[in-house]
C-alpha cells in the first residue's frame, strides 16, 4: 500500500490470517501489531521469520523495536494516538466489510481451509457430550489453539494426499482400458449429457392464457328437410363405420387396411405410429355429435401421442393433419390437451426451417431435427404446396403460445417469394432451399402447387380480411393461372392444365378440383368487381369435375383426366384410373352449395356418397379402388385418414344447414380442419397483433 503514513508488508499465515511483518512507520512492527491487537502470537514470535505456507518463502527478520524508534519516546502524543485510532478503526471496518461482502460460497471455501477457526469462534459440540435443546459450546480462545491448528493442518495435508492418490489411481485405471472401452465410456457419458439436456429442454413450458376466439355453430346444422336429414344421417353412419373399423383393427396405427383388417402407414409419417386417423377424424366426430368416439380419441391422444419419436415425417402432411387436426379439436372442444400437443408438435417441426434460405425441408426427423428433401423433387428442391401450406396453422400457434417464431417463419417464406422473379407471373412448383432458386419450371394448381394458392386466400380470410398482402398475392397468382393454365375444351368443359417449361399439358388432376371451391370462396373481395366471374369459374370447375365422375363406371372420379384428342374428362393411362377416397370434388360441391344453394350440388354430392358406399365399403371400413372404369374393381386396401377428416366431413356439411360452421367465423385448412378467424393487425416483420372477439 502506498499510503503516506503506513508502509507495511503483510504475509499470510497458514490460516489465511494477515501477519504484520514489516513497517516503515516509526513504531516497531511488533508494537504496531500488538496495538492492532489482532493476533494471538506472542510478541517474541514477531521477530522470527514468517513462513509462507505454500511457497515456503522467507520474510526478512525484523529489527527490534527500540532501534527503529528515532525519538526514543515512551509515550505517544495525543494527535498520534488519535491518528492510530483512526487507522485502527478504518482497518477493522475494512476487514469486517470485506468479510460480509464476500459471496457466500467464497466464505464457505475459506471456512473449509480453517479460517473460520481464527476469524470467528468455532462452534462445535464436544465429542460424546450431549447438549439438549441445541445448546452449543463456543471455543477458539485459549492455549489449545496452536495445537489444534497443527492437527488441522496435518489433517488437511492427509486429505490432499488421499485425493491425489485417488486421482492417480483413476488415471492409471483409465490408461489400462482399451481404446474401444474408453471410446464407449466417452460415448455413454456424452449421451447421458445429451439426454439430461433434452430432459431439461422437454419440461413443458406453461402456455400463456389467451382468450378463446368466439366459436360459433360447432354443433348445429340440423336440416329442416327430412330427406336431407336422412342423407346426413347416412353420412354419419358411414363415418361411424369408418371409425369403428379403425378402432377395431387399426387403433393407434396411422391408417387402416380395411381388407387385411390391420394397421397401415405410408412414408409421409415415417415409421411412426402416431394415430393419424384419430387426430384427423376428431373434429368430424365432434361436428357429427359422435361424442363417445371423440372422447375415446381424446383419451388415446392424452395417453399415447408422443412426438419425440425417431421418425422422418413430411412437414407438410404432419402440419395439415396433426397440427391442423389438434388445433381444430382444441377450438371445438376447448380441451387443453389438444393445444398442448399441437405446440409440442410444432416445436418438433421448427428445425425443418434450418436451411440456408429459411425455406423448410420437406421432411424432418422428429427426434434429431435433421431435415432433407424428397429424392425425386427437382435437384433437391422443396415443394411449393408443402412450404406454402403452413401459414394458417403457424399463425394460430403464435396466437396460442405468444411465440412469434411461428409467424416469423411463414412470413419469411412469403417475403422471400415476393422478391423472386416469376416466369410468366407463375410460381414454379420447385424451389431449392440451399440456393433460393427455382427448380424446374412446372406450375400446377393440383399436386405440388395447389394449397399454396389456397393458403394465400385463407390467410386473408383468417385475418378477418386484414392481411391484404396475402390477398394481393393470391389475386396476382390467380390472374396468371387464368391466363396460362385455364382453358375450355372443345366440348365446352373448363379445365385447369399443368404448365411445363412453357408448354400447357391438357390434363387435370383430381386434386385440382378443389380449385372450384377456392374460386368461389375468393370471389367476394376479388379486384375489379370480378366476384361474379370467379363464382362462375368455380361453378365451371365443379361441373367439369362432376363430369369426370359421371363418365366412369363407378361414378367415382379418376386421379387424373385428359382433354386431348377427342377425350374429355377421362383418364387415359391405367395408373391414373384409381380413386383413393379423395375429397376435392365434394369439397368444391360444398363451397358451391354454400355460395349458390343450387340443389344440383347436393345432388352431385349424394351421387358420390352413394358410389363410395357401394363400391368402397367393405366389412373392415372403406377402401380406395384401382380402376373407376371397371365394373369389377379391385381395392387398394387403404382407408386414408383424409377420408374421415375431409371427404365425410364435407359430405356431412353439404347436408347440414349453413349455421353449422359458418364461413364468416371459420376457415378450413387444406385438410378440412376448421380454424377460427383471428382479427390480425400490423404485419411488420415479426409482429402480429391479434384482436379476437372472445366468448
Ligand atoms: C389432403 O391431405 C389434403 O387435401 C391435401 O391438401 C391434398 N390431398 C389430400 C387429399 O386428397
The full set of domains in the chain, from first to last, is: 1-79 (no CATH), 111-201 (no CATH), 226-691 (1.50.10.10)
For residues 507 and 6, which has the higher predicted lDDT (pLDDT)?
Answer: 507
Q: For ligand 1, what atom is nearest to the CA of residue 454?
A: 6
- Answer whether residue 438 shows pLDDT above 80: yes
pLDDT of residue 56: 31
pLDDT of residue 167: 79
pLDDT of residue 76: 64
Q: Long-range contacts made by residues 550-554, C-beta under 8 angstroms, separation at least 24? A: 550/607, 552/628, 552/629, 553/628, 553/629, 553/630, 553/631, 554/579, 554/611, 554/614, 554/615, 554/625, 554/628, 554/629, 554/630, 554/631, 554/633
Q: Is 61 annotated as a binding residue?
A: no
What CA–CA distance (Å, rounded) separates 362 from 374? 7
Q: Which of 154-158, 180-184, 467-471 has the lowest mean pLDDT?
A: 180-184
- Report CA(471)–ligand 1 centroid distance (Å): 22
pLDDT of residue 74: 52
What CA–CA distance (Å, rounded) separates 388 from 390? 6
Tens digits of residue pLDDT in 146-166: 666 777 778 888 888 888 888
CA dihedral 505, 510, 512, 514 (to 10 degrees): 160
pLDDT of residue 164: 81
pLDDT of residue 123: 31
Mean pLDDT in residue range 412-420: 98
Count each helix (H run) and each strand (E run) in the chain, helices first: 23, 25
Q: For ligand 1, what atom is nearest to the CA of residue 580?
A: 11
Tens digits of residue pLDDT in 111-140: 333 333 333 333 333 333 333 333 222 223
pLDDT of residue 559: 98
Tens digits of residue pLDDT in 645-695: 999 999 999 999 999 999 999 999 999 999 999 998 777 666 677 876 665
pLDDT of residue 204: 67
The number of CA neighbours under 13 Å toward the Cβ of 553 is 12
Contact between 399 and 678 under an 8 Å Cβ cutoff? The reply is: yes
Q: For ligand 1, what atom is nearest to the CA of residue 514?
A: 4
Ligand 1 contacts (CB < 6 A) are 451, 511, 582-583, 642, 646, 670-671
- Report CA(649)–ligand 1 centroid distance (Å): 13
- Report CA(320)–ligand 1 centroid distance (Å): 9
What CA–CA distance (Å, rounded) separates 312 from 272? 8
Active site residues: 317, 450, 559, 584
Nearest-CA residue for atom 3 of ligand 1: 671
In the chain, % helix, strand, coil (3-state, to 5) comes to 50, 10, 35
Pocket test for ligand 1, best of 320, 587, 588 (most atoms within 8 A of CB): 320
Confidence band for 185, pLDDT divided at 50, 70 and 90: confident
pLDDT of residue 111: 33
Helix (H) or strand (E) holding 94: helix 78-101
Q: For ligand 1, what atom is nearest to the CA of residue 317?
A: 2
Tens digits of residue pLDDT in 282-322: 999 999 999 999 999 999 999 999 999 999 999 999 999 99
pLDDT of residue 25: 31
Mean pLDDT in residue range 505-512: 98
| Overall pTM surpassing 0.85 (yes/no) | no
pLDDT of residue 2: 32
Nearest-CA residue for atom 11 of ligand 1: 582
State percent of the chain over pLDDT 70. Answer: 79
- Report CA(48)–ligand 1 centroid distance (Å): 93
The number of CA neighbours under 13 Å toward the Cβ of 120 is 11
Amino acid at each position: 500500500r502506498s499510503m503516506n503514513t503506513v508502509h507495511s508488508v503483510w504475509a499470510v499465515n497458514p490460516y489465511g490470517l494477515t501477519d504484520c511483518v514489516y513497517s516503515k512507520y516509526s513504531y516497531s512492527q511488533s508494537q504496531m501489531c500488538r496495538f492492532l491487537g489482532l493476533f494471538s502470537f506472542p510478541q517474541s514470535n514477531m521477530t522470527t521469520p514468517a513462513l509462507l505456507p505454500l511457497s515456503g518463502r522467507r520474510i526478512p527478520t525484523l529489527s527490534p523495536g527500540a532501534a527503529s524508534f528515532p525519538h526514543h519516546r515512551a509515550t505517544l502524543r495525543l494527535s498520534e494516538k488519535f491518528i492510530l485510532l483512526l487507522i485502527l478503526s478504518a482497518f477493522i471496518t475494512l476487514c469486517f466489510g470485506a468479510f460480509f461482502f464476500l459471496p457466500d460460497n467464497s466464505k464457505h471455501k475459506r471456512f473449509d481451509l480453517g479460517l473460520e477457526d481464527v476469524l470467528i469462534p468455532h462452534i462445535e459440540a464436544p465429542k460424546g457430550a450431549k447438549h439438549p435443546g441445541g445448546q452449543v459450546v463456543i471455543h477458539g480462545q485459549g492455549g489449545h489453539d496452536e495445537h489444534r491448528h497443527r492437527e488441522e493442518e496435518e489433517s488437511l495435508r492427509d486429505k490432499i494426499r488421499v485425493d491425489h492418490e485417488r486421482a492417480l489411481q483413476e488415471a492409471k485405471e483409465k490408461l489400462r482400458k482399451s481404446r474401444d472401452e474408453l471410446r464407449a465410456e466417452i460415448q455413454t457419458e456424452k449421451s447421458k449429457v445429451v439426454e439430461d439436456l433434452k430432459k431439461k429442454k422437454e419440461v413443458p413450458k406453461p402456455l400463456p392464457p389467451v382468450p378463446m376466439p368466439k366459436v360459433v355453430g360447432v354443433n348445429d346444422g340440423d336440416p329442416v328437410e327430412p330427406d336431407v336429414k336422412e342423407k346426413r344421417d347416412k353420412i354419419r353412419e358411414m363415418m361411424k363405420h369408418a371409425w369403428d373399423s379403425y378402432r377395431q383393427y387399426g387403433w393407434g396405427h396411422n391408417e387402416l387396411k380395411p381388407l387385411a383388417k390391420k394397421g397401415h402407414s405410408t412414408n409421409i409419417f415415417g415409421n411412426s405410429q402416431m394415430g393419424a386417423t384419430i387426430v384427423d377424424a376428431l373434429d368430424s366426430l365432434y361436428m357429427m355429435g359422435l361424442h363417445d368416439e371423440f372422447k375415446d380419441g381424446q383419451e388415446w391422444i392424452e395417453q399415447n401421442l408422443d412426438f419425440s419419436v425417431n421418425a422422418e415425417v413430411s412437414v407438410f402432411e404432419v402440419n395439415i393433419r396433426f397440427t391442423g387436426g389438434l388445433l381444430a379439436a382444441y377450438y371445438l372442444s376447448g380441451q387443453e390437451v389438444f393445444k398442448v400437443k399441437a405446440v409440442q408438435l410444432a416445436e418438433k417441426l421448427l428445425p425443418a426451417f434450418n436451411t440456408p434460405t429459411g425455406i423448410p425441408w420437406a421432411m424432418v426427423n422428429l427426434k434429431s431435427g435433421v431435415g432433407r428433401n424428397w429424392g425425386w423433387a427437382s435437384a433437391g428442391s422443396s415443394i411449393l404446396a408443402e412450404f406454402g401450406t403452413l401459414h394458417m396453422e403457424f399463425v394460430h400457434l403464435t396466437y396460442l403460445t405468444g411465440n412469434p417464431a411461428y409467424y416469423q417463419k411463414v412470413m419469411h417464406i412469403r417475403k422471400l417469394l415476393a422478391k423472386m422473379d416469376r416466369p410468366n407471373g407463375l410460381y414454379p412448383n420447385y424451389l431449392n432451399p440451399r440456393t433460393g432458386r427455382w427448380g424446374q419450371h412446372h406450375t400446377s394448381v393440383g399436386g405440388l402447387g395447389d394449397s399454396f394458392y389456397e393458403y394465400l386466400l385463407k390467410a386473408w380470410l383468417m385475418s378477418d380480411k386484414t392481411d391484404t398482402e396475402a390477398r394481393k398475392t393470391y389475386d396476382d397468382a390467380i390472374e396468371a393461372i387464368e391466363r396460362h393454365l385455364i382453358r375450355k375444351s372443345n366440348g365446352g368443359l373448363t379445365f385447369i392444365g399443368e404448365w411445363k417449361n412453357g408448354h400447357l399439358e391438357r390434363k387435370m388432376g383430381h386434386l385440382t378440383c378443389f380449385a372450384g371451391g377456392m374460386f368461389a370462396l375468393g370471389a367476394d373481395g376479388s379486384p375489379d368487381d370480378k366476384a361474379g366471374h370467379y363464382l362462375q369459374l368455380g361453378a365451371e370447375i365443379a361441373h367439369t369435375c362432376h363430369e369426370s365422375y359421371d363418365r366412369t363406371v363407378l361414378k367415382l372420379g379418376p386421379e387424373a383426366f385428359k382433354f386431348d384428342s377427342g377425350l374429355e374428362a377421362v383418364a387415359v393411362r391405367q395408373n391414373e384410373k384409381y380413386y383413393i377416397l379423395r375429397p376435392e370434388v365434394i369439397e368444391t360441391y360444398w363451397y358451391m352449395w354454400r355460395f349458390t344453394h343450387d340443389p344440383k350440388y347436393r345432388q352431385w354430392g349424394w351421387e358420390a356418397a352413394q358410389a363410395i358406399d357401394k363400391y368402397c365399403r367393405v366389412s373392415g371400413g372403406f377402401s380406395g379402388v384401382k380402376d373407376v372404369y371397371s365394373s369389377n374393381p379391385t381395392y387398394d386396401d387403404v382407408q386414408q385418414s383424409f377420408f374421415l377428416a375431409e371427404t365425410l366431413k364435407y359430405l356431412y356439411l353439404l347436408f347440414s344447414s349453413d349455421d353449422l360452421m359458418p364461413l364468416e367465423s371459420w376457415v378450413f385448412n387444406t385438410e378440412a380442419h376448421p380454424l377460427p378467424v383471428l382479427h390480425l393487425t400490423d404485419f411488420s416483420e415479426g409482429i402480429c397483433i391479434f384482436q379476437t372477439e372472445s366468448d
